[in-house]
Structure 1
Amino acid sequence: MTKLIRNPNRAPTHPGIMLRDVIFPNLKEKHKITIQELASYLGVSRQVLHRIFKGEASISVNIALKLGKLCGNGEILWLNMQSKYDVYNAKQSIDLENIPTFAA
């Protein structure tokens, strides 16, 4: 059996990319859902959905709730993916070197 090892230095995948590349094709194949229908279920325009697909727009709490219901995998998965993506990118742009750490 092959063991997958995740590279801890690799940037997390934006949840919109996962939605575009994995989830939507599956929904389209199994349930014949169109882009317009997915956007409607999520309460966003097709343009906003395409921005999410490209990783240009975040998965909000409202969208995470709707995606979790639609996919049956819950909102926490989507929120965790977005959070990990956001934290990784913030760490790349914020200098924390001169901030001390104090014990509480």
Structure 2
Amino acid sequence: MTIMFDPPHPGEIIREQCLAPLNLSVTEAAKGLGVSRKALSELLNGHSGVSSEMAIRLSKAFGSSPEAWLRLQMQYDLAKVAHRADSIQVTRFRGQTQA
């Protein structure tokens, strides 16, 4: 499996493209998003990911669709696991239908 790029964690995008241009502190942003400072800090620092609920909050606060925020998270997660895809051992099942 070939990795075309190594996308940044969504938290980095939120910090650089949402908070920084508005000069928002983590505390101010967390309050506006309706989440704890700790929850937002963990996301910004890459220790947690964008959940469905957070995607809606980010969409309402900063724009883009919830799906776009979730896509960023999915791309990041997939790129991380793709680095070790060759070591993931599975049995290929073959039947009449292929997904």
Band the TM-score falls in, shorter-chain normalisation: 0.7 to 0.9
TM-score by length of 2: 0.77
Who is 1:4 aligned against? none
Q: Is the 8 A contact 1:41 1:66 kept in 2?
A: no
* Matches of 2:77 and 2:93, distance apart in 1: 22
TM-score by length of 1: 0.74
Greater CA drift, 74-83 or 91-100: 91-100
Identical columns (%): 27
Residue 9 of structure 1 pairs with residue 9 of structure 2: no
Who is 1:42 aligned against? 33
Who is 1:27 aligned against? 22
**How many residues of Structure 1 are paired with residues of Structure 2 in the alignment?**
93
Deviations 1:36-78 (A, max 9, x none): 2211232321122111111111011101101011112121111
Q: Return 5+ residue gaps in structure 2 as ranges.
A: none
* Matches of 2:81 and 2:6, distance apart in 1: 11
